[in-house]
Amino acid sequence: MRHLLGTEGIDPADAVAILDTAAGLKQSLEGREVRKLPTLRGRTVITMFYENSTRTRVSFEIAGKWMSADVVNVSSSGSSVSKGESLRDTALTLAAAGADCVVVRHPASGAAHRLAGWLKDVGTSVVNAGDGMHEHPTQALLDAATLRERLAGGDATGQDLRDRRIAIVGDVLHSRVARSNVHLLTALGAHVTLVAPPTLLPTGVGAWPVTVSHDLDAELPSQDAVMLLRVQAERMHGGFFPSAREYSIAYGLNERRLGLLPEHAVVLHPGPMLRGMEIASSVADSPRAAITEQVRNGVHVRMAVLYHLLAHEEENA
């Protein structure tokens, strides 16, 4: 693997290998006083974030640092980007400055693909940290890691998510998290149900390998997990649904709905959460929710991704 641009078409064996690496890293680091591995010493990882992000940027930065890589963060404000430099020129500049890996978050769908194309001859790896409404592959991997861990209830090494049932609820239309999860979870053998009002589902969703539903109550009893998507403020005013109140009534995960889920079912949210809107505060803080575990696993999954892109190559060579 040279780049991680998306989970579409991912080889399930590769995905399981990343999850296994992440689980192994987690085990070896947990409880340690000095959380530092020498694996990526001398390698340079540059994060380029063209959108505001706290958790993803910090997660990648910590992942790189725990692997002893030199991590440099570039944001669009306070850099040559704010002077109007093109994405292509910025990428070529960072590659020329010695980046072994560029982690990119960009509002344009396909930005990471374009970057990989421009850096084709340079040898720099590209990790997509979220491109527009397209993909966010490390989020899907950390979601899968969290689900696998929770649902296995023990050592899950080598396992996929065969026959697990997962509902993804909310703004699928604009969500890169939803797209990456649909690809990855189905590749791992899970059955995915998308639950949303028709206005928040893309035209053409019928071609996706998923079940589509508009009735959350009807779906919950059969799910092993429910993943809530953030409803962005601009959607609330964009006429996609009549009001936040109506959305919350139809698609919000409240106490009553939590009771409809099977006992073992897990609640996920990629964050940041709108408490009281898509998820009730008590649900978010309940032991059924794995939201902080998602964040914790995010670091290990991103370490695993950097390892597979940067260190693994050398071992194979």
Partner 1 sequence: MNTLVLKGVRPYGEGPLSDVLIRDGVIAGITSHDPNTDPHTDPHTDPNTPDTVVDGNGAILLPGFVDLHTHLREPGREDTETIESGSTAAALGGYTAVFAMANTDPVTDNAVVVEHVARRGREVGLVDVHPVGAVTVGLRGEQLAELGTMARAGVRVFSDDGHCVHDPLIMRRALEYSKALDVVVAQHAEEPRLTAGAQAHEGANAARLGLQGWPAAAEEAVVARDCLLARQVGARLHVCHVSAAGTADVLEWAKARGTAVSAEVTPHHLLLTDDRLATYDPVNKVNPPLRTAADVERLRQALADGVVDCVATDHAPHAPQDKDTEWSAARPGMLGLQTALSVVVKTMVETGLLDWRGVARVLSERPAEIAGLPDHGRPIAVGEPANLTLVDPAATWVVRGADFASIAANTPFEGMELPARVVATVLRGRVTAAAGRIPA
Name the site residues for partner 1 (rule: CB under 8 A).
Answer: 8, 86-88, 106-111, 113-114, 117, 131-135, 176, 179, 202-205, 207-208
Least distance (Å) from partner 1 to the CB of residue 202?
4
60/208 with CB nearer partner 1? 208
12/110 with CB nearer partner 1? 110
Helix/strand number for the chain, H first, E second: 13, 9
Least distance (Å) from partner 1 to the CB of residue 253?
25
Least distance (Å) from partner 1 to the CB of residue 230?
16
CB contact at 8 A, 16 and 158: yes
Q: Identify the three-state secondary structure at position 232.
A: coil
Least distance (Å) from partner 1 to the CB of residue 8?
7
134/257 with CB nearer partner 1? 134
32/83 with CB nearer partner 1? 83
Least distance (Å) from partner 1 to the CB of residue 86?
6
**Termini Cα distance of the chain:** 12
The sign of the torsion formed by the CA atoms of 25, 112, 49, 86 equals positive
80/157 with CB nearer partner 1? 80
DSSP 289: B
107/221 with CB nearer partner 1? 107
Instruction: Categorise residue 108: left if φ over 0, alpha if ψ from -120 to 50, beta otherwise.
Output: beta
The sign of the torsion formed by the CA atoms of 299, 145, 277, 204 equals positive
Angle of CA points 224, 163, 176, to nearest 5°: 70
Beta strands in 149-265 (DSSP E): 165-169, 191-195, 211-213, 225-228
CB contact at 8 A, 48 and 103: yes
Least distance (Å) from partner 1 to the CB of residue 48?
12
